[in-house]
């Protein structure tokens, strides 16, 4: 072995896939130890990084070919030692020439100066920041200017990112493919217009507004009006997720929803203003749609939307059923409280999806219109493998007993269903048809009642939600 060249030894060690096995081999001799360290391309560290700068330096020197680094300070307290700061990012930029993917979570000591050091990482393609309160738009701008190959950018709870020059810069360079902005208080829907021609390159967009913060300020109509003057090219968008957004008729994000002709997944959660025409347009354009998730808000009291007819009816589900023949995942949910009668989907609309699309996974939350008749209809769902029922209070034991007759069903999840009891699960006991049964917070189902109802069973009971 001593006569083998390093290149051949690296090839041999590279064929050992398990990290534990590779670590064991590295203890054989100093040469193996050094070569094995060179094969390590990713690390994930947390509060144990202490003292931060020294520990990070040692790690970077040991694993000299790092491409992916995750630093997570979740649960950090001052007694655990000083956090990673800007000097730590300087160490990363100077010691990790191959760095491509960096995630910093709860690194509250990092400032714009630290991001400016990362701007020298010429290979950096992915940056994810979760709760970096000292970062501003200036720091993000310096980074995107320096990192010419940045294709993935996630900003989550970066509360002080206000300047939008970085968005304009990204908009002019058509590089970004994956953009995630969640609960960054100052960034609103209107700011996304600054992405300009980069919309053409985007494959994934996740945009979530801090609803508690946004409703305290006046919605900027002028910013949304600008969307009408610009063509939004979204042909390459594959995944779209919007949470707590205001969808103005014919403006703003409504322009995006109806133009994503290659869209595969869409998630609309508490988006006020979504109408049937938006979903119909989406369905007609996006024949490749595979997954749709809708959580419908019950609060339609925003002044901006008082004069607009807000309806999500079976027309939306009908359009999806007729146009999206690849659809295999459906999640329908209503916000807490009783349904607004003018916007709820009926059982007929839900069954239309099941009958016309190869639904593999169905999740219903707070959908009171789904009852025992719906469970009977599922018995003819040839592709259904995963069924999740949350707060579906119209389902009784009579309907639940039919779960064993759903041809391909292998996973059943029941949460907060008041009408189901142990009797509803009796046909499943001993049959082992299900691979997994999850029962959580259903007051009339006991731990004893779920035993033997599936190959694997998970049971939790916390009834505080009822009081």
Any idea which of 18-32, 375-389, 420-434, 447-461 has the lowest mean pLDDT?
A: 18-32
Query: What number is the average pLDDT over the span 52-60?
Result: 91
31 plus 160 within the same structural domain: no
Tally the domains of the chain.
Answer: 2
Mean pLDDT on 383-394: 95
CATH code for position 35 = 1.20.1280.50
**Are residues 48 and 35 part of one domain?**
no
- Say whether pLDDT at 194 is over 80: yes
325 within some domain: no
Whether residue 165 is contained in a domain is answered as: yes
Which residues pair with residue 332 across a beta bridge? 294, 364
Mean pLDDT, the chain, integer: 87
Cα separation, 73 vs 209, in Å, equals: 24
Shared-domain flag, residues 17 and 66: no
Domain-embedded: residue 125: yes
Token duo for residue 446: 């006991």
Average pLDDT score over residue span 342-360: 87
Residue 436 structure tokens? 């997994």
Phi, psi dihedrals of residue 438, rounded to the nearest 5°: -115, 125
pLDDT digits (tens, 9 = 90+) for 132-153: 999 999 999 999 999 999 999 9
Instruction: Give me the CATH number covering residue 57.
Output: 3.80.10.10
Q: What is the pTM of this model?
A: 0.88
Q: Are 133 and 14 members of one domain?
A: no
Sequence-separated (6 or more) residues with CB below 8 Å from residue 446? 422
Do both 204 and 63 map to the same domain?
A: yes
> Tens digits of per-residue pLDDT, 85-94?
999 999 999 9
**Model pLDDT, residue 340:** 43
Does the residue 91 lie in any domain? yes
The domain of 15 spans 1-39
Band (pLDDT 50/70/90 cuts) for residue 338 is: very low
Q: Helix and strand tally (H, E) in the chain? A: 18, 16
Could you tell me the two tokens for 394? 């119209």
Secondary structure percentages of the chain, helix, strand, coil, to 5? 35, 20, 45
Residue 139 counted as domain residue:
yes
Please, which pLDDT band fits residue 283 given cuts at 50, 70 and 90?
very high
Binning pLDDT at 50, 70 and 90, where does residue 290 land?
very high
At residue 289, the 3 state secondary structure works out as coil
Range with the largest mean pLDDT of 5-9, 76-80, 305-309, 399-403:
399-403
pLDDT at residue 11, rounded to an integer: 73
Q: Are residues 53 and 145 in the same domain?
A: yes
Q: What are phi and psi of 164, to 5 degrees?
A: -105, 15
pLDDT per residue as tens digits for the range 243-279: 998 887 777 788 888 889 999 999 999 888 888 999 9
Cα angle for residues 328, 330, 335 (degrees, 5° grid)? 170
Q: Is 69 exposed, middle or buried (0-12, 13-18, 19+ CB in 10 A)?
A: buried
CA distance 369 to 296: 14
Residue 98 lies in a domain: yes
Average pLDDT over residues 379-384: 95
Show which of 214, 235, 252 is a domain's final residue.
Answer: 214
Residue 336 lies in a domain: no
Spatial separation of the C-alpha atoms in residues 65 and 6, rounded to whole Å? 15
Report pLDDT for 220. 52
Q: Are residues 31 and 135 in the same domain?
A: no
Q: Please check the confidence at residue 222 and state whether its pLDDT lies above 60.
A: no
Q: How many CB atoms lie within 10 A of CB 171?
A: 18
Average pLDDT over residues 433-454: 95
Instruction: Among 214, 234, 265, give the residue marking a domain's end.
Output: 214
Answer with the one of 187, 214, 241 that is the final residue of a domain. Answer: 214
Mean pLDDT confidence for 42-70: 90
Using CA atoms, how far apart are residues 35 and 72, in angstroms rounded to an integer?
Answer: 27
Identify whether the C-beta of residue 118 lies closer than 8 Å to the C-beta of residue 102.
yes
Structural domain includes residue 92: yes
Q: Are residues 11 and 81 in the same domain?
A: no
80 and 158 part of one domain: yes
Task: Give 173's Cβ-side CA count (13 Å radius).
Answer: 17
Per residue, what are the HEC states of 301-343? CCHHHCCCCCCCCHHHHHHHHHHCCCCCEEEEEECCCCCCCCC
Is 19 found in the same domain as 70? no
**Token pair in block for residue 63:** 């694993």
Same domain, 55 and 173: yes
34 with 64, same domain? Answer: no
């Amino acid at each position: 072995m001593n006569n083998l060249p390093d290149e051949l030894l690296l090839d041999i060690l590279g064929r050992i896939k398990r990290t534990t096995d590779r670590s064991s081999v590295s203890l054989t001799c100093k040469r193996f130890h050094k070569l094995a360290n060179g094969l390590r391309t990713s690390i994930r560290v947390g509060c144990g990084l202490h003292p931060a700068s020294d520990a990070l330096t040692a790690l970077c020197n040991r694993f000299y070919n790092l491409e992916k680094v995750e630093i997570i300070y979740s649960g950090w307290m001052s007694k655990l030692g000083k956090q990673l700061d800007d000097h730590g990012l300087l160490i990363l930029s100077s010691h990790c020439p191959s760095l491509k993917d960096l995630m910093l979570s709860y690194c509250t000591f990092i400032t714009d100066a630290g991001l400016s050091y990362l701007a020298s990482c010429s290979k950096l393609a992915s940056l994810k920041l979760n709760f970096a309160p000292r970062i501003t738009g200036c720091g993000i701008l310096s980074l995107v200017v320096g990192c010419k190959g940045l294709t993935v950018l996630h900003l989550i709870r970066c509360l002080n990112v206000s300047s939008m020059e970085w968005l304009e810069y990204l908009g002019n360079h058509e590089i970004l493919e994956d953009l995630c902005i969640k609960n960054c208080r100052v960034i609103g829907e209107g700011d996304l217009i600054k992405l300009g021609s980069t919309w053409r390159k985007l494959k994934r967009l996740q945009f979530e507004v801090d609803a508690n913060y946004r409703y305290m300020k006046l919605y900027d109509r002028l910013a949304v009006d600008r969307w009408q003057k610009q063509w939004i090219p979204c042909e390459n968008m594959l995944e779209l997720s919007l949470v707590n957004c205001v969808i103005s008729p014919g403006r703003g994000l409504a322009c995006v929803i109806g133009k994503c002709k290659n869209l595969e997944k869409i998630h609309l959660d508490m988006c006020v203003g979504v109408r049937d025409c938006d979903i119909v347009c989406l369905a007609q354009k996006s024949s490749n749609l595979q997954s749709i998730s809708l959580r419908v808000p019950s609060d339609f009291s925003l002044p901006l939307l008082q004069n607009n007819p807000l309806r999500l009816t079976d027309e939306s589900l009908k359009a999806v059923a007729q146009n999206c023949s690849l659809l295999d995942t459906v999640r329908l949910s209503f916000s807490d409280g009783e349904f607004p009668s003018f916007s709820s989907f009926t059982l007929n609309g839900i069954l239309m999806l099941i009958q016309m699309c190869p639904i593999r996974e169905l999740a219903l939350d707070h959908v009171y219109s789904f009852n025992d008749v719906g469970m009977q209809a599922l018995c003819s769902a040839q592709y259904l493998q995963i069924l999740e029922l949350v707060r579906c209070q119209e389902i009784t034991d009579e309907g639940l007993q039919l779960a064993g007759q759903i041809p391909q069903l292998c996973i059943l999840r029941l949460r907060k269903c008041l009408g189901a009891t142990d009797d509803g699960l009796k046909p499943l006991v001993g049959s082992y048809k299900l691979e997994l049964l999850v029962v959580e917070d259903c007051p009339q189902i006991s731990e004893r009642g779920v035993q033997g109802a599936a190959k694997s069973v998970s049971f939790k009971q916390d009834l505080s939600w009822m009081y």
